Structure 1
Amino acid sequence: MKFIHTADLHLDSPFRGLDEMPAQIWQRVHQSTFTAFERIVDAAINQQVDFILIVGDIYDRDHHSAEAEDFFVRQCQRLAKQQIPVYLSYGNHDYQPVTEQIDSLPNNVHVFGNQVETKTLTLADDQTVAITGFSYGKRWLVEDQVSKFPEKETADWQIGMLHGAISQNNPDQDHYAPFTLPELLQKRYDYWALGHIHKHQVLNEEPLVVYPGNPQGRHKNEDGQHGYYLVQSNSDKLTAEFKPVAPIEWCEIDAHLTHDQTVDSLIEMLLHKGEAEDGFKMIAFNVHLTDQVNALTKKLLANGTILERLQENLSEKGDYQWWPYQLNLLKGTALPKMTDLDQEYWDQSAQDVFNQDAVIDLTDKLAKYGFIADQLADPSLVEQLRYEASQKLGEGDHDEN
């Protein structure tokens, strides 16, 4: 048995805040979610897989574009020509009522309804595969769904499809089919195909419990490689291999300034670092400053002039193999205006104040909006808040009065 596990395609993601880039790059970014899925379909055909699992959030929002739907249908038709079935569920972004086979989809696509159900597939070697899953009928699904999954019965292979997040035992956070790892393992399934978390990770080895992440990172917090998992049987075990497909990778690169660094030499250094990267990268440079860096360079970094010059340099060349979208200014030392004792107290206070619970308490009313709740649930948000606060504190009070 061989199959592909993917999730969170987020076709037609808007990539907000990036539409002022050169048209050539914007087109590349906007098409990246489509390109990533097309590569997955290419792989399915080339690898001659038995089936594909898509675990939620095919589209970026419930009211998706006609372009996105047409593209998805055409890719499924390519699979149909190769007799490759697709098993899909809808998630919290593309939730919808599912009462019967959706007319616009080809017959090789099997959609899970809003209640937990099992679909059975017989492979060419007569092995049977039971696949259990469900689709979201609304944005939030706070009820436990795993308890509704049957235990493994007579099928040779039992697979669970679950678009959800590990339970935090907190009703203010558990909005997406919360589950625990032990309750998954109790079902004795051979593979748990998860979705919702946008970072690929294996939660358990035997049996495999896997998040494939999204095939294409959509912003700086979704950096690194993105792709899908190719799952194969070996005797009575399954193995999962991560396969990157994202046409664009978000990354951060460190750049350390010397005391005699001129603006021109700084731009040349950043250009060299960007050109050294393989594949198309969206780059945020972390520029490390010291007290010795001259005031003009600091000012041009802070007001965005150097970033603009860097972007203009690339635009003039017209050879877009990477794009600098952000410059982050970092102090050479953590907080130079602080004493060691100040730093110690700050570190302790930051841990107490900037944590997930505190953020949730402060933003309680905003969390009712799904798109905000998604951002608040991201652990990297807390780290970003802590960092930005430390930078503001490190600047000191410049008010003469």
Structure 2
Amino acid sequence: MKFIHTADLHLDSPFRGLDEMPAQIWQRVHQSTFTAFERIVDAAINQQVDFILIVGDIYDRDHHSAEAEDFFVRQCQRLAKQQIPVYLSYGNHDYQPVTEQIDSLPNNVHVFGNQVETKTLTLADDQTVAITGFSYGKRWLVEDQVSKFPEKETADWQIGMLHGAISQNNPDQDHYAPFTLPKLLQKRYDYWALGHIHKHQVLNEEPLVVYPGNPQGRHKNEDGQHGYYLVQSNSDKLTAEFKPVAPIEWCEIDAHLTHDQTVDSLIEMLLHKGEAEDGFKMIAFNVHLTDQVNALTKKLLANGTILERLQENLSEKGDYQWWPYQLNLLKGTALPKMTDLDQEYWDQSAQDVFNQDAVIDLTDKLAKYGFIADQLADPSLVEQLRYEASQKLGEGDHDEN
């Protein structure tokens, strides 16, 4: 048996805040989620897999574009021509009521309904595979879904598909089919195909419990390699191998300024660092400043002039192998540190206050405006708010009264 496990395609992601890049770069970025999935389909055909699992969030939102749906259908049709079935579930981003087979999808695509159900198939070697899963019918699923999964019965292989997050034992956070690893293992399944978390990771080796991550990182917090897992049987066990497919990789690169660094030499240094990277990279430079750096350089860094000059340099060359989208200034002298107790309370409060659901709740009235709703839905916004709040806290008056 050989299959591909993927999830969180997020086709047609808007990539907010990047649309002012050169058209050639923007097109590459905007198409990246499509390109990543097309590469997965290519791999499925070349590897002659028995089936594909797509565990939620095929689309970036419940009201997706016609272009995204047409693209997905065409890729599934490619698989249909090779007799490769697709088993998919919808997640919290593309939730929808599923009452019967969706007409727009080819017959090789099997969609899980809103209640836990099991679908079976027989492989060419007559082995049987039972696949159990469900689709989201609403944005939040706070109820335990794993308890509704049957234990393994007579099938040669039993696979669970679960788009969800590990339970935090907190009703304010457990919104996405919360589960615990011990409860998954109690079902005696051969493989748990997870979705929802955008970082590929193996939660358990025997049996395998796997998050494939999303095939294409969508912002700076989804850095590093992204791809899918190729799963194969070896006697009575399964092995999973991560395969990168993302056409674009987000990364951060450190740059340390010397006291005699000129603006031109700084730009040259950043260009050299970017050109040394393999593959297409979206780069955020972390520029480390010291008190000895001259005032003009500091000013040009702070007001964005150096980033603009760096981007102009690449645009003039027209050879886009990487793109600097951000330049962060890091002071060589540390901000005043919190006491251990302050830090403990800050960490606890930050988790409660700076999460996506809390931000959406606090801005409920503003969310009726589409452009604001799009910003609020971006996970990087929460990280930015948390970071800026911590910086402001560090800059505050630390005199004890």
TM-score, normalised relative to structure 1? 0.90
C-alpha distance 102-348 of structure 1, shift in aligned 2 (>3 A): closer
CA distance in 2, matches of 1:278, 1:2: 30
Residues 88-132 of structure 1 show CA distances to partners (whole Å, capped at 9, x for unaligned) of: 001111111111111111111111111110000100100000000
CA distance in 1, matches of 2:339, 2:211: 44
Deviates more, 1:52-61 or 1:350-359: 350-359
2:206 is the alignment partner of 1:206:
yes
CA distance in 1, matches of 2:138, 2:124: 37
1:105-254 matched pairs, under 5 angstroms: 105-254=105-254
Conservation of the 8 A alpha-carbon contact between 1:32 and 1:216: yes
C-alpha distance 304-133 of structure 1, shift in aligned 2 (>3 A): same
C-alpha distance 346-56 of structure 1, shift in aligned 2 (>3 A): closer
CA drift of 1:170 comes to 1.2
C-alpha distance 327-173 of structure 1, shift in aligned 2 (>3 A): same
Conservation of the 8 A alpha-carbon contact between 2:220 and 2:380: no
Partner of 1:37: 37
Conservation of the 8 A alpha-carbon contact between 2:253 and 2:286: yes
C-alpha distance 389-357 of structure 1, shift in aligned 2 (>3 A): same
CA distance in 1, matches of 2:206, 2:332: 45
Conservation of the 8 A alpha-carbon contact between 2:16 and 2:375: no
C-alpha distance 199-261 of structure 1, shift in aligned 2 (>3 A): same
C-alpha distance 377-17 of structure 1, shift in aligned 2 (>3 A): closer
Conservation of the 8 A alpha-carbon contact between 1:283 and 1:326: yes
CA distance in 2, matches of 1:274, 1:155: 51
Conservation of the 8 A alpha-carbon contact between 1:159 and 1:193: yes
SS of 1:282's partner is strand
CA distance in 1, matches of 2:270, 2:75: 39
Conservation of the 8 A alpha-carbon contact between 1:194 and 1:210: yes
CA drift of 1:168 comes to 1.0
CA distance in 1, matches of 2:341, 2:128: 65
CA distance in 1, matches of 2:128, 2:338: 66
C-alpha distance 84-358 of structure 1, shift in aligned 2 (>3 A): closer
C-alpha distance 175-352 of structure 1, shift in aligned 2 (>3 A): closer
C-alpha distance 252-122 of structure 1, shift in aligned 2 (>3 A): same
CA distance in 1, matches of 2:210, 2:372: 26
CA distance in 2, matches of 1:38, 1:185: 33
CA distance in 2, matches of 1:72, 1:54: 12
C-alpha distance 337-92 of structure 1, shift in aligned 2 (>3 A): closer
CA distance in 1, matches of 2:241, 2:337: 48
C-alpha distance 372-4 of structure 1, shift in aligned 2 (>3 A): farther
C-alpha distance 44-378 of structure 1, shift in aligned 2 (>3 A): same
SS of 2:230's partner is strand
Residues 262-298 of structure 1 show CA distances to partners (whole Å, capped at 9, x for unaligned) of: 1111111111000000000000000000000011111
C-alpha distance 21-374 of structure 1, shift in aligned 2 (>3 A): closer
CA distance in 2, matches of 1:113, 1:341: 48
Conservation of the 8 A alpha-carbon contact between 1:22 and 1:315: yes
C-alpha distance 210-363 of structure 1, shift in aligned 2 (>3 A): farther
Deviates more, 1:309-318 or 1:362-371: 362-371
C-alpha distance 299-210 of structure 1, shift in aligned 2 (>3 A): same
SS of 2:255's partner is strand
Deviates more, 1:389-398 or 1:323-332: 389-398
CA distance in 2, matches of 1:359, 1:115: 30
C-alpha distance 375-134 of structure 1, shift in aligned 2 (>3 A): farther
Conservation of the 8 A alpha-carbon contact between 1:92 and 1:136: yes
Deviates more, 1:21-30 or 1:354-363: 354-363
Residues 152-210 of structure 1 show CA distances to partners (whole Å, capped at 9, x for unaligned) of: 00000000000011111111111111111111000000000000011101111110000
SS of 2:87's partner is strand
CA distance in 2, matches of 1:67, 1:272: 38
Partner of 1:51: 51
SS of 1:286's partner is strand
CA distance in 2, matches of 1:366, 1:143: 28
RMSD between aligned alpha carbons?
A: 4.0
CA drift of 1:239 comes to 0.5
CA drift of 1:388 comes to 3.1
C-alpha distance 392-142 of structure 1, shift in aligned 2 (>3 A): closer
CA distance in 2, matches of 1:105, 1:390: 47
Partner of 1:24: 24
CA drift of 1:384 comes to 5.1
CA distance in 2, matches of 1:160, 1:400: 55
CA distance in 1, matches of 2:169, 2:340: 38
C-alpha distance 193-260 of structure 1, shift in aligned 2 (>3 A): same
Task: Count residues with an aligned counterpart.
Answer: 401
Conservation of the 8 A alpha-carbon contact between 2:52 and 2:84: yes
C-alpha distance 169-308 of structure 1, shift in aligned 2 (>3 A): same
CA distance in 1, matches of 2:360, 2:352: 14
- What are the ranges of 5 or more consecutive residues in structure 2 without an aligned counterpart? none
C-alpha distance 266-393 of structure 1, shift in aligned 2 (>3 A): farther
Residues 305-325 of structure 1 show CA distances to partners (whole Å, capped at 9, x for unaligned) of: 111111111111111100101
CA drift of 1:303 comes to 0.8
SS of 2:392's partner is helix
C-alpha distance 355-161 of structure 1, shift in aligned 2 (>3 A): closer
CA distance in 2, matches of 1:308, 1:281: 18
CA distance in 2, matches of 1:113, 1:192: 18
Partner of 1:358: 358
Partner of 1:340: 340
CA distance in 2, matches of 1:314, 1:398: 44
SS of 1:391's partner is helix
CA distance in 1, matches of 2:257, 2:105: 55
CA drift of 1:335 comes to 2.0
Conservation of the 8 A alpha-carbon contact between 2:129 and 2:155: yes
CA distance in 1, matches of 2:183, 2:337: 51
Conservation of the 8 A alpha-carbon contact between 2:131 and 2:161: yes
C-alpha distance 357-44 of structure 1, shift in aligned 2 (>3 A): closer
CA drift of 1:370 comes to 13
TM-score, normalised relative to structure 2? 0.90
Deviates more, 1:318-327 or 1:358-367: 358-367
Deviates more, 1:248-257 or 1:358-367: 358-367
